[in-house]
Chains A and B, each alone.
Chain A
Amino acid sequence: EAGVAQSPRYKIIEKRQSVAFWCNPISGHATLYWYQQILGQGPKLLIQFQNNGVVDDSQLPKDRFSAERLKGVDSTLKIQPAKLEDSAVYLCASSLERFSGANVLTFGAGSRLTVL
């Protein structure tokens, strides 16, 4: 089966600019996740969707970050305006069902953001 697709792979912007990342999960996977991975740290969950509804966005900086999953398939994560501390790899993952502890997440290759 095709994996989780993400684009762009790399993006360099200046602070206060905006950026958007796109994710296409594995076909049929109901749950989609966006993680932020800062260099030297483990991935941190930003937002979790179940179909097109938000399950958890408690760690999403909502003053600058937004995400949507229209039609319950593709998802877009946007940052506006970007700050230096947003430099990170943004990982998208999907799972067949809502995470129950037994399901395995499949990750995309990530989108590396550098904010100058």
Chain B
Amino acid sequence: AQSVAQPEDQVNVAEGNPLTVKCTYSVSGNPYLFWYVQYPNRGLQFLLKYITGDNLVKGSYGFEAEFNKSQTSFHLKKPSALVSDSALYFCAKWGDQGGKLIFGQGTELSVKP
């Protein structure tokens, strides 16, 4: 069973508009959830994480994510997109089996001027 799902392969947004990159996860106790970003020919960079507490998590570069337990979602958001936000975004969950970080398949974000 897939632990993390990113339903959109690609998201297109105009610069200055709000953006949302979706992520849902399989239920298993209290999840630890993460967002990473990957720029071309670069490794993954940590953006933010949810461990416990406030459902709205703030991270790097103006990104935030909302943990919704009833919908088992952890969508990544930004109020105003920048062209430089264009990259590949991965949602990840601390896995149920043996404690490993399991990634979704990724969503390519394209922000046009």
Contact = CB atoms under 8 A, between A and B. Distances in A.
Co-assembled chains A and B = yes
Interface string A7-40: 0000000000000000000000000010000001
Contacts of A58: 98
Interface of B: 4, 32, 34, 36, 41-46, 49, 51, 90, 92, 94, 98-106
Contacts, number: 58
A108 B43 contact: yes
A65 interface: no
B105 A105 contact: no
Given A41-B106, A43-B90, A104-B49, A99 B42 contact: no
B46 A105 contact: yes
**Size bin of chain A's contact surface:** 20 to 34
B100 to A, nearest CB: 5
A61 interface: no
Given A58-B98, A91-B44, A101 B105 contact: no
A56 to B, nearest CB: 5
Given A105-B46, A108-B43, A109-B42, A99 B106 contact: no
Nearest to A107: B43
